[in-house]
Chain A
Amino acid sequence: MTLPAWFALFVAFALAIWVVREARRRTAHHETGRRFFRHPTAGWGIGVLAFFVIVAVVAPLVTSYDPRAQLDIVHLKNQPPSWSYILGTDVYSRDLWSRVAFGARVSLIVGALGMLVAATVGTLVGAVAGYYRHWVDAVLMRGVDVGLALPRIFVLLIAIALFGQLPLTALVLAIGLTSWFGTSRLVRAEVLSVRERDFVAAARAVGAGPGRVIFRHVLPNAAAPIIVSAALGIGNVLLLEAALSFLGIGVASPTPSWGNMIADGAPYLASAPWTTLFPGLAIALVVMALNAVGDALRDALDPRQESGA
């Protein structure tokens, strides 16, 4: 790797550490913030996430090669890590570190957007079901049961096999639309418990319409579990994208995504294990960080739940 890229990488590290410090400092006087950082892994989680996001954003600066460039298909294929190629090269003689860095873009975006779709749809469905109850609730929840009854990987396999290779947006939608069922149950439970409270009755007495009541009064109080489940859910979406790419449906080559990098490297596991190891480690690190942050958020936002703090 070239000198400017090394320099940029160190700056990225430093920036991530600075982000954690700043976050800690800024929230020190907030009860929620203090509870959040009391978790031993919370700071670490924020740092890892920050690092990967920074790398994804400035990917061209921290890498020296085009992630799609096949550098020398005869001599540079499946090379182990070295000073020029810090994570090695893959079977098409592409630099692995470049692909991990640019792959962060794809994987993180698919994860975030997929979760956004799932959270939005799930929240809407759950809120409507919880607020209106009776037959609306029954019908919607039966629909959720149907969705949960189909094993997720099958549904996605079938749906994606339908259209061959999906463009990125369609993939995000497909993942999102099959991941919202749990969120809707969660939101419904929250809405059911909040709707009986006084301030909601007051709002209704004043004549507020259902939409207003839901969005301005009910949901903000139900926000905490939604946020927590979203943070934890991005991890699941990332893992799902990896699994789909491994099966050959998912993000298409040559666009690098951590999932299809594992798929590319799997046939050469015995002779070039680094091609499978590093993308998998990247996924593991990001999902770990997301889980750590999610756990800490859960404790911070919900004072009723004590988890031994």
Chain B
Amino acid sequence: MTAWLVRRVAASIAIVFLVVTLTFILMDVAPGKPMLGPTERLVDPQAEAILNRQFGLDGPLDVRYVSYLRELAHGNLGLSFGLRRPVADALAEAIPNTLLLAGAALLIDFLIGLALGVYQALRVHRIPDVVLGNVTLFLYSVPTFWLGLILLLVFGEWLGWFPVAGMSDPILCPTVSSFYCAVDRLWHLALPALTLGFVGAAGTARFQRAAMLEVAGQDYIRTARAKGASERRVLLRHQLRNALLSFITLFGLAFPFLLTGAVLIETIFAWPGMGRLATDAILRRDFPVVNAAVLLASTMVVAGNLVADVLLAIADPRLRVRSGGGEPA
């Protein structure tokens, strides 16, 4: 088990390294110069040369790549051209915002998804199941950003129940200084988190419903029923526990989402998170920010996969037996 773990960790590091290198090369080949000036007004050629030198943009690709790696080894993520500040500062401000939004969305996703899936399985083929099934089908199929726009229109503009943009009220609550301000934060968080959460919950509910129904037909369940255990007990003890295993896989897949954020939702709701930061940086050819974002994102992905695999191996003894030197399939 340990040998397998060590190999996986090594492979994960190699993957991250490869991804970062690829991004570095891609950004270099891309047309479009970094936005060193606002809009289309051109920078004086002399000034441009100075700026290139200051930001380390002159020099051949391999030299720049090596110096980038060297800086990275020292923990220096570089200076952002567009934001005029160290990349680490910009990331440090954006990451908590994305964590908040993605965390809330995932919470809604899992809780509502699990509840719906279980409820649907209990009432399978009856009216609640059919109605909920269609609702989840719809939510699962809409473009998330379109749903966000519609919810913004209806609940933000027409009904005025939720704020239209931003994370907080800058007038009364620039910091979370009171309970009222905490509630204000939640109020601002509601629409984007609900948009993301409902779409995710629809997928989770469908998945959970299918998983629970699959488990329902298996032998040990029938045995338990034959032994006379009540329906509810059978369900809760056996089906739920097995269905929960699948959550670990889902979590592993959702983990990177916590940091990459939902690019389009963040743009629509003016949420200052990682997704928006990275997209703007790509469009502005702000190389340091893009490289840092990709580094972060790919690290999260491989870490998520690793954690999911480890948790699965711990939770399900059958997988451990099957691995024996190989890896859980």
| A interface list, Cβ under 8 A from B | 40-41, 142, 145-146, 148-151, 153-154, 157-159, 161-164, 189, 192, 235, 239, 242-243, 246-247, 259, 262, 266, 269-270, 273, 276-277, 280, 283-285, 287-288, 290-292, 305-308
> Do B125 and A308 have beta carbons less than 8 Å apart?
yes
A186 vs B112: C-alpha distance when bound (angstroms): 28
What sequence of 0s and 1s flags, for each residue 136-153 of chain B, a beta carbon within 8 Å of any chain A beta carbon?
A: 011011111111011011
User: Does chain A have a CB within 8 A of B157?
Assistant: yes
Q: Is B87 an interface residue (CB 8 A)?
A: no
Which of A41, A189, A239 contacts B137 (CB under 8 A)?
Answer: A41
B157 and A270 within 8 A (CB) = yes
Q: In angstroms, how far is the closest chain A Cβ from the Cβ of B20?
A: 10
Q: A154, B137: Cβ atoms under 8 Å?
A: no
Render B114-148 as a binary contact track against A, CB cut-off 8 A, 1 for contact.
00000001001100001001100110111111110
Is B283 engaged at the interface, CB distance under 8 Å to the other chain? yes
Q: Chain A residues near B298 (CB, 8 Å)?
A: 149-150
User: Chain A's nearest CB lies how many Å from the CB of B272?
Assistant: 18
**Contact call B141/A284, Cβ cutoff below 8 A:** yes
Q: Is the CB of A288 within 8 A of B125?
A: no
Q: Are B134 and A41 in contact (CB under 8 A)?
A: yes
Tell me whether A162 and B29 are in contact (CB under 8 A): yes
Given contacts A158-B282, A292-B137, are A308 and B294 in contact (CB under 8 A)?
no
Q: Which residues of chain B have a CB within 8 Å of any CB of chain A?
A: 11, 14-16, 18-19, 22-23, 26-27, 29-32, 121, 124-125, 130, 133-134, 137-138, 140-147, 149-150, 152-153, 157, 210, 213-214, 216-217, 256, 260, 263-264, 278-279, 282-283, 290, 293-294, 297-298, 301-302, 305, 329
How far does the alpha carbon of A192 sit from the alpha carbon of B144 in the complex, in Å?
Answer: 36
Bound: A242/B216 CA distance, A: 38
User: Is A153 a contact of B23 with CB atoms below 8 Å?
Assistant: no
User: How many whole Å from A72's CB to the nearest CB in chain B?
Assistant: 26
Chain A hits for B293, CB < 8 A: 154
| Contact indicator B137/A277 (Cβ below 8 Å) | no
Measured between beta carbons, the chain B residues less than 8 angstroms from A273 are 150, 153
With A153-B263, A270-B157, A288-B140 already in contact, 9 other A-B pairs whose C-beta atoms are closer than 8 Å: A150-B294, A192-B329, A235-B141, A242-B143, A262-B146, A262-B149, A280-B142, A288-B137, A292-B137
A307 to B16, CA, bound (A): 39
The CB with the most chain A CB atoms within 10 A, among B141, B260, B279, is that of B141
